[in-house]
């Protein structure tokens, strides 16, 4: 196990990993974002001992949330805040969203969402390996995202 990070620093931790992966990448997005997400999912945060206190979401599909139709890949980690958290009660979500022009290959993927929770006993690596990444990466081809955002929100 690596160092324990403060939950309030979660988005900074992801941004740092994304910067490292982008700097080291010969290829471009989405691979650095996916590699950073895989590393971020393994970072230690002081969450309660509940089964669903620490989870990851891999979600994609065409949405109009940005005001225009875009294919969005959403990589989110959700952390339950401890009872004494400065942020209050509930969950902190750190999301990396990659927005692409919805070319036909991406439209054809439809939409999908996959959750994983640390407390369920399933290993992150097994869950990650089960994601439909080959189909997604094939559909993305050499497309580059129109926008990449990292956000931290309370839920």
Composition of the chain by helix, strand, coil, percent to 5 = 35, 30, 35
Q: What is the pLDDT of residue 150?
A: 94
For residue range 34-65, list pLDDT tens digits in order: 999 999 999 999 999 899 999 999 999 999 87
Q: What is the pLDDT of residue 113?
A: 97
pTM across the whole model: 0.91
Does the structure show a pLDDT above 70 at 28?
A: no
Q: What is the pLDDT of residue 4?
A: 85
**Shortest CA distance to 119 belongs to which of 57, 50, 42, 39?**
50
Does the structure show a pLDDT above 80 at 30?
A: no
Q: What is the pLDDT of residue 67?
A: 82
Q: Tokens 């196990």 appear where?
A: 1
Instruction: Give the strand order in the sheet containing 91-100.
Output: 112-117, 54-63, 70-80, 91-100, 147-154
Average pLDDT, the chain: 90
């Amino acid at each position: 196990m690596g160092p324990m990070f403060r939950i309030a620093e979660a988005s900074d931790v992801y941004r740092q990993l994304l910067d490292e992966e982008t700097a080291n990448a010969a290829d471009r997005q989405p691979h650095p974002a996916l590699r950073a997400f895989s590393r971020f999912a393994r970072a230690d945060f002081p969450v309660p001992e509940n089964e669903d206190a620490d989870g990851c979401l891999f979600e994609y599909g065409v949405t109009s949330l940005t005001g225009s139709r875009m294919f969005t890949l959403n990589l989110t980690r959700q952390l339950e805040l401890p009872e004494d958290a400065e942020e209050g009660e509930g969950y902190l979500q750190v999301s990396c969203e990659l927005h692409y022009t919805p070319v036909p290959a991406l439209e054809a993927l439809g939409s999908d969402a996959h959750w994983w929770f640390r407390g369920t006993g399933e290993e992150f690596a097994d869950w990650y390996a089960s994601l439909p990444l080959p189909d997604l990466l094939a559909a993305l081809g050499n497309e580059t995202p129109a926008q990449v955002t990292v956000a931290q929100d309370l839920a």
